Amino acid sequence: MPPAKKRARSYDSAKTRAAVLAQFGNVREAVAALAPERLDGPTRLGEWTVRDLVGHLSMVLGSVARYLDGPEPAVRELALVDWPLATATASARIDEDTRAADTGDPAGLLSGTVARYEERVTGASDERLVPTRFGAMTLGDFLVTRTVELVVHTDDLNRAAGLEIPFDRQALAACTRLLADTLAVKAPGGAVEVRIPPFAVVQCVEGPRHTRGTPPNVVETDPLTWIRLATGRTEWAVELDGARVSASGERADLSGLLPLMA
């Protein structure tokens, strides 16, 4: 008998929308207080400067209004859980668009972006289709992807500029859960249980499935370490050696499955 199809996780629309605004607000506040000379400092993202990263964060939110301004696609093409794996196909285009952004006034750019976002998203249905880079998806799903982008790049901004921008709890939860579910899609099975308290538990990897008691193969880590692993910001061996990841069992090595998105 074939394994039962996994049920897609659902996300509370009101909480997701609030999380997107909250996390972007955290970024805006930090950027407004950032000394000009720090904007031209390096990041861990190739040749991007902090200024480029701020421009990209504006694009992350600005894309929502831009897509809503266009015609609605006729057919949904992309499921939410498939979005992270699709991102690797557009890295060159994303880099090009980011470098083209006008970042002469970073704080003003972010303020204008959020105003336009609120104007277009208010009253828009979660079921409305939007034409993303990777295929049409529902607005509700696309907003969940914005929590991923905002959390990941807030962490990049913190690291690059020596900041401590807080993470909205709901944004961090949605980001963690989507990336965990993507791992389960990439490596379906029930041999390994991946625990990311307090937000997610998934089973993955082909092999014997446990049904009772403690599973023989368990991976556990915290949300930010998981997000950094899933997006290639750090490496499995580094986090294992640093005791930020615990892995027990002969199948509990996820290094060959990571990262999940670019």
**pLDDT tens, position by position, 1-56:** 334 445 679 999 999 999 999 999 999 999 999 999 999 999 999 999 999 999 99
Mean pLDDT, the chain, integer:
93
Count the helix, strand and coil residues of the chain and give each as a percent rounded to the nearest 5: 55, 10, 35
**CATH 3.30.1050.40 domain range(s) in the chain:** 187-257
Which tokens hold the place of 129?
Answer: 């289709």
CB atoms within 10 A of CB 124: 16
**pLDDT tens, position by position, 135-175:** 999 999 999 999 999 999 999 999 999 999 999 999 999 99
Average pLDDT over residues 220-244: 98
3-state secondary structure string across 208-262: CCCCCCCCCCEEEECHHHHHHHHCCCCCHHHHHHCCCEEEECCCCCCHHHCCCCC
Q: What is the pLDDT of residue 262?
A: 75
Residue 205's Cβ-side half-sphere holds a number of Cα atoms within 13 Å equal to 22
Contact partners, residue 18, CB within 8 Å, separation at least 6:
170
Query: Residue 191 and residue 18: Cα distance in Å, rounded?
Result: 36
Q: Which CATH architecture has domain 187-257?
A: 2-Layer Sandwich (3.30)
CB atoms within 10 A of CB 71: 7
Average pLDDT over residues 213-234: 93
Name the percent of the chain lying above pLDDT 90: 86
**pTM greater than 0.85 (yes/no):** yes
Place of tokens 């791992």: 183
**CATH 1.20.120.450 domain range(s) in the chain:** 13-170
At the fourth CATH level, the homologous superfamily of domain 13-170 is: dinb family like domain (1.20.120.450)
